[in-house]
Amino acid sequence: MSLTHLERLEAESIHIMREVVAEAERPVMLYSVGKDSAVMLHLARKAFFPAPPPFPLLHVDTTWKFRAMYELRDEAARDAGMELLVHHNPEAQEKGINPFDHGALHTDMWKTEGLKQALDKWGFDAAFGGARRDEEKSRAKERIFSFRSANHRWDPKNQRPELWHLYNARKNKGESMRVFPISNWTELDIWQYIHLEGIRIVPLYFAAPRPTVERDGLLLMVDDDRFPLRPGETPQMRSVRFRTLGCYPLTGAVESTATTLPEVIQETLLTTTSERQGRAIDKDAGGAGMEKKKQEGYF
């Protein structure tokens, strides 16, 4: 009997999670409510069954996620029997940092700084993240166990070699690890697994009529009344869905009629643009945008 590629990927991810729980003092799972997070959470439930996953979920929130994401977030944590921690960067909150007025600063303060604050606040020494190596070029080179200095920096030239199934999780006080259990999954693997395992995902991944405006080449959904309409902009109902989910003012929708998972997968396979293309974040600083963000501590 030969294991299928999804069975091998699943076994690898479970193995990684158990290593972290065995070796780290205070692990946490970063949970962003997207499809990758959903798969990661499902794998965690498998890894520790019949016990609930022995760590909390952490959502580093920007207050600008889609409403549907907040709903699923709270239910998913409850279903898994896990504690849900939510962190808002108080400084960003106080200054009213938002994606409309502050551009890159929005991501930097809410997400990058917010994440560091949250990890420090609760003293987590290992944080699971749902990043995949196929997403972006600098991720392709990152280890599964990614070591961070006491000030959360990633040094791409000084990574620990990772051999066989052996992960070196040793660190000094104050230092931490980011761990990516689904590093070797591709977008298609994720969809396939969600389909196979019947994992619940945010309805925004399926097409439905939604109020949208077209702005700077992106199709943006007007998810609440904080969305400042520019002169001449009127939200129009379009049948759209989302390939990735982030802050709603930064996440472009695609026009679609795919209302079932096989249809979504079908569209994904036949599509001709890459997944992160709907996100504004990768386009800063030319081709090296993500690498720069990662060095500074972004996931």
Q: Which residues contact another protein (rule: CB under 8 A)? A: 1-12, 14-15, 18-19, 21-22, 45-52, 133-134, 137-138, 140-141, 156-157, 159-166, 168, 170-172, 183-184, 186, 188-189, 192, 195-196, 262-263, 265-266, 269-274, 277, 287-288, 291-292
Tell the smallest beta-carbon distance from residue 92 to another protein (Å).
28
Residue among 93 and 168 whose Cβ is closer to another protein: 168
Residue among 97 and 219 whose Cβ is closer to another protein: 219
CA atoms within 13 A on the CB side of 282: 14
For 72, other C-beta atoms within 10 Å of its C-beta total 18
Tell the smallest beta-carbon distance from residue 179 to another protein (Å).
14
Tell the smallest beta-carbon distance from residue 63 to another protein (Å).
30
User: What's the CA gap between 89 and 234, in Å, rounded?
Assistant: 32
Contact 86, 57 (CB under 8 A): no
Residue among 194 and 213 whose Cβ is closer to another protein: 194
Residue among 232 and 270 whose Cβ is closer to another protein: 270
Residues 6+ apart with CB under 8 A from 79: none
Residue corresponding to tokens 């003012």:
249
The DSSP string of 118-138 is HHHHHT-SEEE----TTS-TT
Tell the smallest beta-carbon distance from residue 96 to another protein (Å).
33
Tell the smallest beta-carbon distance from residue 247 to another protein (Å).
21
Residue among 66 and 185 whose Cβ is closer to another protein: 185
Tell the smallest beta-carbon distance from residue 26 to another protein (Å).
16
User: What's the CA gap between 117 and 294, in Å, rounded?
Assistant: 16
Residues 6+ apart with CB under 8 A from 87: 58, 59, 60, 61, 114, 115, 117, 118, 121
Residue among 45 and 87 whose Cβ is closer to another protein: 45
